[in-house]
Amino acid sequence: MMDRLLRRCRIKSSLFRECLAEFFGVYVLILFGCGSVAQVTTSQNTNGEYLSINLGFALGTTFGIYVAKGVSGAHLNPAVSLTLCVLGRFSWTCLPFYVCSQLLGAFLAAATVALQYYDAIMDFTGGHLTVSGATATAGIFSTYPADYLSLWGGVVDQIIGTAALLVCVLALGDPHNTPAPPGLEPVLVGAAVLVIGISMGSNSGYAINPARDFGPRLFSYIAGWGDDVFRAGHGWWWIPVFVTCVGALLGALLYELLIGVHHPDSEPEDAEDLKAVHQQTVELDGMQPQFDTVKENGKHGIFSITSADIG
């Protein structure tokens, strides 16, 4: 009965379904990720440490992908969606819908973390919601640079961090390399986020994802931390939003130039072969949503997988 009620809510539009999945995936990512920062911050390191935060974002990514991957391919990151468009593996038309869903998921997850940790934040700060100082809590939601970091240092930091993410993600999903075992891609992408946090988190908190940073920042702006969230770090906010996209493109370019384009068998000769490889790609490539009938009936229509995909 319950099930019959639920089924009435079924949405037929595949784009809408995918946007729901991206929304929910990013929601889970941020709920666990920012939640772990909230726990470490408000407990003053007694209920966790820096490594807990790394694990929180890593496993948040893992479960965000498990929630969304079968439906939308689980980009969960506007910089990833953009890069896939540039590589010809995702549709430019869908890009704005994905990005908005990702931002909305991050915004609402930040609100949920604030709700869950409301008493803790009030107790820790005495009610003063600040961006800096001994009881600063804005860092629960979005990233801020270390005091020593220059503007160019921040740009370089986010370029390298996001490029490293894309290199790992593309390697894990490359069917001509050593792809992650089916069903474990989410764990391995989470491991990539873990190692980036362990090795590149110190300068500015490894945003490496515009939605992860801007959605919660917007929430903290509205929820009482004020316009300091945009002014702090000499106007740091735009670096995790725009520079990460440059980093993602650079990382993809590096992987393709050094590894991807050189795979010897990546140029199938006739349509029959193409289809076979295509099928294989769909099964193996961790970055692609599931679809069976893309070109045949044009029902879903938003993905145009061509031979450009292979390699």
Q: What residues numbered 35-74 form the site for its own copies, per CB under 8 A? A: 35-36, 38-39, 42-43, 46-52, 54-56, 59-60, 62-63, 65-71, 74
Residues 6+ apart with CB under 8 A from 64: 25, 26, 27, 28, 29, 32, 74, 76, 186
Of 95, 100, 104, 122, the residue at the interface with its own copies (CB under 8 A) is 122
- 84-92, 126-134, 234-242, 269-277 -> range binding its own copies (CB under 8 A): 84-92
With binding defined as CB under 8 A, does residue 220 bind its own copies? no
Which of residues 100, 187, 274, 305 is near its own copies by CB under 8 A?
A: 187
Residues from 16 through 35 that contact its own copies (CB under 8 A): 17, 20-21, 23-24, 28, 31-35
Nearer to its own copies, 86 or 226 (CB): 86
CA 258 distance to own-chain centroid: 24
Give the CA angle between residues 167, 192, 59 to the nearest 5°.
145
Q: How many residues bind its own copies (CB under 8 A)?
A: 113
For residues 248 and 140, the answer to whether their CB atoms sit within 8 Å is no
How far is residue 84's CA from residue 98's CA, in Å, rounded to a whole number?
A: 12
Quick one: 226 or 305, whose CB is closer to its own copies? 305
Residue whose CB is less far from its own copies, 2 or 227: 2
Burial class (CB in 10 A: 0-12, 13-18, 19+), 116: middle
- Whether residue 188 contacts residue 238, with contact meaning beta carbons closer than 8 Å, is answered with no
Span 264-283, contacts to its own copies by CB under 8 A: 264, 267
Q: Does 208 bind its own copies (CB under 8 A)?
A: no
Cβ within 8 Å of residue 192, ≥6 positions away: 164, 165, 168, 169, 172
State which residue, 198 or 226, has the beta carbon closest to its own copies: 198
Which residues, 161 to 180, sit near its own copies by CB under 8 A? 164, 167-168, 171-172, 174, 176-180
